[in-house]
Amino acid sequence: MNDPFKQADALRKALVADDDAEGRMDAWLTAMLGTDLSRNRVKALIEQGAVSVNGIAVTEPKRKIRPGDQVEIVMPEPEDPEPQGEDIPLDVIYEDKDLIVIAKPPGLVVHPGAGNWTGTLVNALIHHCGDSLSGIGGVKRPGIVHRLDKDTSGVMVVAKNDIAHRHLADQFADHGRTGPLERAYQAVVWGRPRTLTGTIDAPLGRAGDRTKRTVKREDTDDAREAITHYEVLERFGERPDATALAALVECRLETGRTHQIRVHMAHIGHPLIGDQDYGAAFKTKANLLAEPAKSIVNGFHRQALHAFLLQFEHPTTGETMHFEAPMPDDMAAIVEALREMPAPEDRRS
């Protein structure tokens, strides 16, 4: 059964209990709706007066359903909570009256959303910057002009007023084609790309899961241009045939699509170490690594991706601003362990 509350015009649902109807109201409603509403959610709606039986509001979830009962449930309009400031430490690289540049740690969500209404970078910024962020770029994303995935670390810039927000947003929308904007990432990938430098030009679109992306044909409705330039910086566990167990790769974005680097590197057969979404099939490759690299990689549960460089034009001074952030400790530990790993032909079985 389709969810009756996924439609904007279906916030009200009328049901009639059939001849076999029995049991508690909350249990019967949960079964009848056939949606992703949990029984606890249905129970809460009943207690809030959102359910009526035969024209009379019912607020007792255990009220028995009877054959022929006419039941109506009205879903309240969804309301997103306005984010509040929270005293969350920020690693501030630079700050002035127009903008703030921070080094985002892995594990920090950028802006509030389902399942993450608190503890985000936005909550931290509101606390740090005060009223200066109010209303810039929307209630849920004040000052945000670009984002990094929760488990990706690196440099981010946030606008502190409307003029800065518009100017920075325009630069990111232009992807640096006509200005100084640059974004560069460090990634640790499985294997070694066939060429030491290259360009991945492969459109991206939604995968089956709405949160994931996949490479699409250009003529697909939701296909969006995506271009990544890469350079292999180091090779680890290199074999005589020029293959390697892993590599440190620098990626520069010509476009900025969701999960772009992660999907593109997986597309050419070299997913990021630790990537649970696009590299899960490569997880057993850790068994090919020598200790302690094997244990460190097995204990690493996020994509090995770090936005180490960000460059842009200052929105009011016009100055080219260049910032870099060092690789976080957990990812640096992987690189160091891989560096110290003996070549495969030198390992003892």
pLDDT digits (tens, 9 = 90+) for 49-59: 889 999 999 99
CB 320 within 8 A of CB 188: no
Q: State the catalytic residues.
A: 149
Residues in the chain: 349
CA distance 141 to 88: 17
Nearest alpha carbon to residue 255 among 338, 162, 175, 164: 175
Is 2 a residue whose pLDDT tops 50? no
- Confidence label for 335 from pLDDT (cuts 50, 70 and 90): very high
With cut-offs at 50, 70 and 90, classify the pLDDT of residue 4: very low
Quick one: how far is CA 155 from the chain centroid? 16
Look at 129-133, 136-140, 250-254 and tell me which has the smallest mean pLDDT: 136-140
Say how many Å lie between the first and final Cα of the chain, rounded: 57
Can you list the domains of the chain with their CATH numbers? 12-74 (3.10.290.10), 80-174 (3.30.2350.10), 180-349 (3.30.2350.10)
C-alpha–C-alpha distance, residues 56 and 51, integer Å: 8
pLDDT digits over 315-334, tens only? 999 999 999 999 999 999 99
Percent of the chain at pLDDT > 70 equals: 91
Residue 156 pLDDT > 90: yes
pLDDT in tens, 76-110: 765 556 788 899 999 999 999 999 999 999 999 99
On the question of pLDDT at 130 being above 90, the answer is no
Residue 160 region by backbone torsions, left for phi larger than 0, else alpha for psi between -120 and 50, else beta: alpha
Q: What is the DSSP letter of 327?
A: P
Higher pLDDT, 23 or 138: 23
Residue 80 gets which letter from DSSP?
P
